[in-house]
Amino acid sequence: MARSKVMKVLTENPVWRSVFRHKMPSDDRNRVLVVLSNVFLHLHPTKVRKSGVRLSYTWCMGGLTFFIFLVESVTGILLMFYYRPTAEFAFEDIQALGAHVPLGIMRELHRWGAHAMVITVWLHMFRVFLTGSYKPPREFNWNVGVILLVLTLLLSFTGYLLPWDQLAMWAVTVGTNMARATPFLGNEGPGAALLAIGDTPLVHAGSDVRFALLGGRFVAAGALLRFYVLHCIAIPLAAAVLMAVHFWRVRKDGGISGPL
């Protein structure tokens, strides 16, 4: 009886009632209301197919990907407090972060979370493929998902440069060297030599797509700043917008997939 008394004091007052507009979700009506009246929970319908909550069916990988994205956002914001994206300070700041923040695991959480997100997003796609969930009416949402997968890889890749150590610089050098070979747009790409006015080439090491990506001919201060902005603002924003579309379309296309 003590428990129900505590609950009574806790819930039967104007403050509680101003936040929660329903009673305890102990009957069907309030189980529906708890989902409908909560902005976060209303991402869900109020009822779902039983097959759709079966863990061996969904693997929960899409949900985990979204959760890890949130983890990355929170830890990423905390890391931004300590980090200056310049060739002069970047490495020192990361070093100082390890040395001066007691029990700090934010960078670890952020890095391992990033790796985990790449894995969960692959597995999510894998599950969606194996269950044929890209088939009508979900074709468009599969497309949004593919773009989100690419954005996840790009997020991870741009973040890889930020510690500004040897690992970062050379992994990104190897990765961005590919852009040199872009047909027509890279200075070592097929067809680039054709784009010339007289003897003056239009596409050279100082004007090609790799230069645009790095803000210079090499992975240097310009690249660090560009990757930082892409990593912290541009790609997360794009991903957030597409995630909204993705989740909304899951609902509009009939919820978690199941046999028609």
Residues 184-213 that bind another protein (CB under 8 A): 186, 188-193
Token couple for 63: 């949900």
DSSP string, 61-119: HHHHHHHHHHHHHHHHHHHHTT---STTTHHHHHHHHHHHSTT--HHHHHHHHHHHHHH
Q: Which region, judged by CB under 8 A, interacts with another protein, from 9-17, 181-189, 196-204, 233-241?
A: 181-189
* 232 lies in the binding site for another protein (CB under 8 A): no
User: Which of 153, 196, 202, 212 touches another protein (CB under 8 A)?
Assistant: 153
* 240 lies in the binding site for another protein (CB under 8 A): no
Task: Pick the closer one to another protein by CB: 24 or 237.
Answer: 24
User: Which of 78, 82, 116, 201 touches another protein (CB under 8 A)?
Assistant: 116
Q: Which amino acid is at 104?
A: G
User: Which of 12, 14, 102, 183 touches another protein (CB under 8 A)?
Assistant: 183
Token couple for 259: 């046999």
In eight-state DSSP terms, residue 178 is G
Q: Which region, judged by CB under 8 A, interacts with another protein, from 2-10, 55-63, 233-241, 243-251?
A: 55-63
CB of 126 to another protein, least distance (A): 6
Token couple for 207: 């004007």
Residue in the structure block whose two tokens are 């863990």: 55
Task: Pick the closer one to another protein by CB: 1 or 260.
Answer: 260
DSSP string, 84-95: --STTTHHHHHH
What is the CB neighbour count within 10 angstroms for residue 174? Answer: 10
CA distance 57 to 257: 10
Query: Mask of contacts with another protein, 1-20, x by CB under 8 A?
Result: --------------------
